[in-house]
Amino acid sequence: MSEAFYSGKAKTLYRATEPGYLVMDFRDDVTAFNGEKHATLQCKGELNCAINTLVMEYLESQGIATHFVRQLDAHSTLVKAARVLPVECIFRNRVAGSFMKKYGLGLGDELAHPVYEYCVKSDALGDPLIAPGAITALGMLTPEQLEWTGQETARINRVLGELFADCDYQLVDGKLEFGLLEESGELALVDEFTPDSCRLWSAQGERFDKDLFREDLGDLVGGYREVHRRLCSALRQPVEP
């Protein structure tokens, strides 16, 4: 594998041998609070890689463009290189996390409709919320890109909400990143979609996401393994990890 050119909190990106492609390696690291809390958990990277593969392949089957190409091995996938947009798109279907604390709401409170938010992609700034008008005023996205990312976030929320409902989960909220593909210039979903980047609850409120680590609620690897098992069952795929 070539030398790493980017290493995030839980993944490392390498240039692939073919121009325009990257190898995304899922590590066993788990972090919270912008990296202030950290641990290494055996099998975590393998499970996230497998979960992400199932989700990305499903999104592609539903006509949603992603940078995903294929899984290479237990820990890594081949993806299309992209210029990641400098904002993160958040969807919220129930009250949890920072939304709960910011507005003094109860955990799990229902919302009249999904809430969609934008955050500046910056750990140094604490990923602050940003108004859509500020995004275009600052030149972070064009008006067309802003409209597209908003529509695509809502569509992905709906598609994945239905998928996880088939797994007997509530998709409480999630974070998405989009980018411009290096070769074609087209917009697509990038990064990952795993329990690291969303909240998944059972009907009884049991957690199956990174809150298990973030809030010391239980066995993260066991929770992720169950997410993988249920996704495999819903998508009629063999359970391997």
Q: What is the pLDDT of residues 13-71, one digit of tens each?
A: 999 998 999 999 999 999 988 778 999 999 999 999 999 999 999 999 999 999 999 99
- pLDDT confidence band for 198 (50 / 70 / 90): very high
β-strands 82-84, 170-181 pairing: antiparallel
Burial class (CB in 10 A: 0-12, 13-18, 19+), 234: middle
Handedness of CA 54, 55, 57, 62 (dihedral sign): positive
* Stretch (H or E) spanning 3: none
Q: What is the pLDDT of residue 4?
A: 80
Give the count of alpha carbons within 13 A of 89, CB side only.
Answer: 28
Query: Candidates 3.30.470.20, 3.20.20.70, 3.40.50.620, 1.20.120.160; correct CATH number of 83-219?
Result: 3.30.470.20
Residue spans in the chain of domains classed CATH 3.30.200.20: 4-82
Other beta carbons less than 10 A from residue 186's beta carbon: 11
Q: Where in the chain is the domain with CATH 3.30.470.20?
A: 83-219
pLDDT at residue 241 tops 60? no
Q: State residue 68's pLDDT score.
A: 98
Instruction: State the pLDDT at residue 33.
Output: 85
Q: What is the pLDDT of residue 170?
A: 98
Summarised one tens digit per residue, pLDDT across range 74-121 is 999 999 999 999 999 999 999 999 999 999 999 999 999 999 999 999
Across the chain, mean pLDDT equals 95
CATH superfamily of 4-82: Phosphorylase Kinase; domain 1 (3.30.200.20)
Task: Give the pLDDT confidence score for residue 83 in this predicted structure.
Answer: 96
Burial class of residue 159 in the structure, from the number of CB atoms within 10 Å of its CB (0-12 exposed, 13-18 middle, 19+ buried):
middle
